[in-house]
Structure formats: C-alpha cells, structure tokens
Chains A and B, each alone.
Chain A
C-alpha cells in the first residue's frame, strides 16, 4: 500500500534491480539531485520492498558510520632516519618514488635473467667461445698412422674454445695413434660406437669449427694426444681421464683445459653443426670423419698395424650435445616462464 512502511521480509523475496539499488544508496548518501530524490520517494511510497530495502540499507550505513574511531597506537611522525629505511608494509622497495609491486619486481627480475642467459648463450654460440670442455664425449677411433710418419697422433678436438686452432694436449685421451707412445693411448679402436661417424649427432651445436688432426703413425708424437693425459690440465675440477691401455672401446672423457700442445695437424675440418655436415680439408690422404662435439674427446687408440690409408673415424657419441647448453636453455626457458607467470598473477590480482 503506497505510503506505508512495511518492514516485511520482502526484500529477500523480490530483489531490486541493481540500478534501482544504486539509486537507493545514492539517495541515502545524498548523491542525487532533487528531481531524482523525488522519484525515489515516489518509488518508496509505491513499493514496500524498496521501502524495506532502504530501511535496512540505512540501518547498515548508520551502524558503520557509528563505529568509533580506533585510536592510533602511536605517533606516525616522519623522522629523517625513516627515510633511509625500506618500507615495512607491502611494497618491497621504493626506487625513486616508483614503487613496483613485488610480483612486478619478480617478473622484471625473471625477464632480466632470461635476457642475460640468452645473451650468454648467443655469445657462446656465435663466438664459439664456450670452452665447453665439460661433458661432451667424442670418441675418435683413429686410424693407424700414415705412412708419412707424421708426428702427432690422431687428434680430434673441437676448436670450440676461444678460437684456438689447435688446442694442444687435446682433451683427448686420444689414445692416439702413437705406436711409440708410451701412453695409455694404445687402445683398440672403439667399436661400434666409435665407428659410426654421424655428423648429425652434433647437429645441435651451432657453427663449430673442428680441426682434427690425424696423426699419422705416430712417430714423434710425444705431445700427441695419446701422449699424456696427465698433461691435461683439468679445469673446473674435472680431472682428465686416461684411457687405460689395452682397453678396447673404452671411452674417455677428457675435460681439457685448453692446454696447448703442438699438433702437427694434418687435416682440418670445418664443421657446420647446423647442417651436420663436416667439411674435411685434409692435408693428407686420409678421409676423416669428424665427430667432435664438445670438448672432451676420447680417441680410441691406434691400431699400430693398420693400413695407413685407412679412414680415420671420428665419432661423436649421439646425445653428446653439450649439456651445459641444455642447462642454460632450460634455465632461460624457466626464467621466461617465471616472468610470464608473475606478470599473469599480477594482472589477475588486479
């Protein structure tokens, strides 16, 4: 009945239109023009539900407005020392008045880390300066020495480090083909694994130049690969591992430190890792199968009595992709994912 003020429970049975509810609240807060107030008054006279709604809303508003102020526990005067301290509440830091939220800061940090990793990766791959001596295992089954009697042993190494063309003392335990070598190099040619020259096995790495030295029958290969694993300077805590003599097919990881040695290189291979094609530029008649990836090269040693024209097989173990690269790529992906996740979380929180 118009004009009555029924406080029934109709407000819950007949919910008002949200816009009408806004009008009632605005009326309550004196935020309507006089014309609008008149319209609301007419509505309240006509609709008991609206009238009841208004009554309860007004009671709620009054309850809130009657809440007494909570006394401040202390003075909040600003002292000079406070200006140097980090904020105690939500924001972690205040950089020149710009106060990013923690999630935004996290996303920025993650993206920065990702960019840094990508830069490092790119620099390594482009310059070939990774010196990824760790990890990659290259097995070279080195053919017997050439009749030319060139000194040196079968060396296969990656010129993957700082552009050095002939890292001496190749990481190779390169059981090099030194018949005369007193080293542990005399290892039987690596069998199946070592005989499969698969350039594709190293296709993961980018342009990499590998110069491989195929030593011919080891004459004076004292500095040759097979010469002295012990001469290899370990790097990053890796100790060179020598292939025990007489261990056929033994693979040796050589984590070389880039120690130099004289290598009578007889052949050089430019290895395009992207295409997986090795271009051989042998200086002798040997056919070479470059298969070096990574820096650790293990050469299974010479067969002293083999034909000198026999093909040298440098094998790269499949899966010998430099795992440091993999780790770096994974870290980069992880950092990007973290950054994106933080950004998404921040947007959702807003």
Chain B
C-alpha cells in the first residue's frame, strides 16, 4: 500500500502565510485589500499562535514602516498587499533597500491603473523590477506559478532577504492568491548561508552604539560611494540568482515566454501546439529580477521567434527583447485590466504567428 499523500488543500494566500510561519517569520504588518485578504486573516490567528507578532496597520505606509522597525530588531518580517496598496509602500521600500534591511513583501496583483478592479493582473511588472520607489535600488523579485512553488519560494524569500540583506518581493496575482490546490508543506531548510545580523538595534549593551540611516550628506562623495557599493552588491546578486524554467524548448521553433499563473496557462497551449505537431516551447522566469537573460539568449539561438504572454499590455516583453538583444522577432499577446488568457486563446495566437 502506498503512503497516504501528505498534501493538504489550501488557497494560495494561505499557503504563502503558512510558508512564512514555517520559515520563521516573526512579524507581519498589513492592511486589508482584495485579493490578498486571506494573508492577514490567516496570520492574525496563526502567527501569534506560533509566537510571532501580527499588526493590522492603519495604512500600507505604516505597515511597510513597521517592517523597517521589525527588521532593524533582527526579526524575520513580511507585509502583503495588492497593486494599489503596494504603490503606497514604495516610499518605505526605498528606505528599506537603502538601509539594507531584509524583509519580504508580497504583491498579489490586481487590475490597474488606479483603483482598477479586483481580478488578477500583471500590470505591476515595471513597478516591481524597475524600481517603484525613488533612487537606484533593486528588489529581488520572485514569481511563483503554482501553489507548491508559492510555498517554497516564500520560504526561500526569507533566506534570500537575509543572505543579501535586501528586500525580496513575491509577485503573485489574484488567481494565485485565490485558487486552491493540494500542497505538501515540506519542512523549512535554509537554502543559502545566513549571515549573523550585525546591524540589529537592540540597545548598545557591551558594544558601540549602532545607527541605521539612509541620509548621506557628508562628505559629498558618501552617497556616490554608497551607490557604487550597492551597484556591486546588485551585480553579485545578478551573477548568483537567476532562476528560470524551460519546457519543451530543446527543438522549439517558437518559444512562449510568460511568468506566474500566465506561464501555467501557456503550458497548456504549448501542449496543444505539440499535439498538432508544432514545435513550441515555454520559458518561464522565476526570478523577474535578476532577469534570467542568459537562458533567454540560449533559447533564442534555437528558436526562430518568441511570443511573450502577459496579463498586461506588455511589460516583461521589454526585458525579453533586451535579453536577446532583439536577435529574433518577439510577438506579444496580452490584455491589461484584470483579464486572464485561456490556453485556447494562446493557442490561436501561436498558430497565427507560427512559421
């Protein structure tokens, strides 16, 4: 007799919340917004039961600044929101990145711009990978496409944050947050070296006092030097952390590129195309920053054409074109405004651009 499955049925927002607890998250602050409400709801009960701290903040701005304080206290911490709320957090994210404080930020994207709607979307790609807040900083951006992957990447996110002393953004969407599927809640194991937190403010007993600050007025070169340092740090992350998955790409003439839930839908379209004898593959970036550009270049050597599919009017497509230096035609299929593609519609597009 085979062992009974250890999988349990949960919603994506719940999986993410439990992953955070299992990874030792000790502090959560957030503000209600659809479609991520299950995260604060779940953590309001489960996190204190696990010995952690939950605060329903008065705003997204307060929530991200609470992370600033929690991270400075040496505690693993997370906040969660959806598109309009994440816009509000950008000020705090810039400060946290400048102070090099580890934390995890979740964006279960919804339709925009403005108040938009509450359906799934991928219109926050630019905000996530190109900045969002002021100044020259980078977030590590992780894009899961299944609930099992939400579970694993959320735990990994805390490790990357501590390892690189950098905020990590988990970029999901309303479908991933709301859908349910069986997930195996595996034991947390750190995947990278976790350095001692020598920046923590816990009172200066037996040591020199510490200051966490982001204002660098004097000498005049101080900020230039700090930005040079950040540039090197980000280059180091780029050299170490580019995650990508390829599916049926080896002999593909056309490669579909998509991330998150869109990639999962596109996988169905790739199978349909293969059934019809079309040589089609899929490339799915798991890290959106750093963007897995070498993988895209490798794929473009074989493929005659790429097709980018997004739940937006076309944002990631710019990084795809930059990665392959426009060496192949890049087609696009997508719609902004809280819409998701079906495998059938992607298949139609594949057939219309396939040569």
Q: Do A and B come from one complex?
A: no
- Residues of chain B at the chain A interface (Cβ within 8 Å): none
